[in-house]
Amino acid sequence: MTTTPETLPFQMERTLHAPLARVWAAWTEPALFAQWWGPKGVPLGLADFDMRTGGRVLYTMTHANGAVWWGRWAIDLVEPQARILWRNAFSTPEGGLSRAPFLDSFPLEIHNEVIFTALPDGGTHLLLRGQPRDPSAAELETYLGMFAGMRMGFGGTLDQLEATLAAG
């Protein structure tokens, strides 16, 4: 993932009180992944889960008002217990690219990277970062303007990850 002054990646870090193997499992095993990925209070359904280099994850998010949003990960690289690179996008039920249902100027695809680091105390450090793929000027402006909301959203998602890990 490249970084330029105009597109500094969105970035979050979290220290988790769980061993690397358990955290890795939460990211790569469908039953665990479905428990925590996505916004708080929005159930995730998995239509496809192929967490390997060249694979994809295709999912639904069902909102309280009944709206169903489709999303997908196109997996670019999986380095076991080290990192995952993927392109995240809203999608059609078949996995084709689709505009965000909440804002037409949101970038079509986001390059994401998560880096996993085992800590000496038995915990795991996560570094998550993302930036739009080939954004228009309007898409980039929208993306940069959404960092506060993205921190809240990803913060809630990582809270759910912590709860999943704590549950055993």
Domain ranges of the chain: 12-166
91-130, pLDDT tens digit by residue? 999 999 999 999 999 999 999 999 999 999 999 999 999 9
Please tell me the class of the 12-166 domain. alpha beta
Decide if pLDDT at 7 tops 90: no
Q: How far apart are CA 125 and CA 127, in angstroms?
A: 7
Q: What is the per-residue pLDDT for 168?
A: 78
Decide if pLDDT at 57 tops 80: yes
Backbone φ/ψ region at 128: left (φ over 0), alpha (ψ -120 to 50), beta:
beta
Residue 8: pLDDT band with limits 50, 70, 90: low
At 4, the amino acid letter reads T
Tell me the whole-structure pTM to 2 decimals.
0.92
In the chain, the DSSP E strands lie at: 10-16, 44-49, 56-62, 68-79, 83-91, 97-98, 110-118, 124-132
